[in-house]
């Protein structure tokens, strides 16, 4: 849930809500959540991914392979 909230999957991206989800997971001994909280403390929200639209995928040349 933290990652989805951080990146904006299913809802607008919101780093503060993402931190809350990571905190809840970390409190239940989920190691990746703890690591992500540490990363956010050190460098901020640099992990946010850019989303690729379907129209951009459809504009690729026919010779390229697209994995979805």
Judging by beta carbons within 10 Å of its beta carbon (0-12, 13-18, 19+), is residue 7 exposed, middle or buried? middle
Task: Residue 34: name the closest of 24, 45, 47 by CA.
Answer: 24
The conformation of residue 52, written as its DSSP 8-state character, comes to P
Query: pLDDT tens digits, residue range 3-58?
Result: 999 999 999 999 999 999 999 999 999 999 999 999 999 986 555 455 555 665 55
Q: pTM above the 0.75 mark?
A: no
Give the CA radius of gyration of the chain.
16
- H helices, E strands: number in the chain: 4, 0
């Amino acid at each position: 849930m933290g990652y989805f909230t951080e990146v904006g999957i299913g809802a607008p991206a919101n780093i503060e809500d993402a931190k809350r989800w990571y905190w809840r997971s970390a409190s239940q001994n989920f190691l990746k959540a703890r690591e992500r909280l540490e990363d956010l403390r050190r460098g901020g929200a640099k992990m946010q991914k850019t989303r690729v639209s379907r129209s951009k995928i459809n504009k690729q040349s026919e010779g390229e392979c697209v994995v979805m």
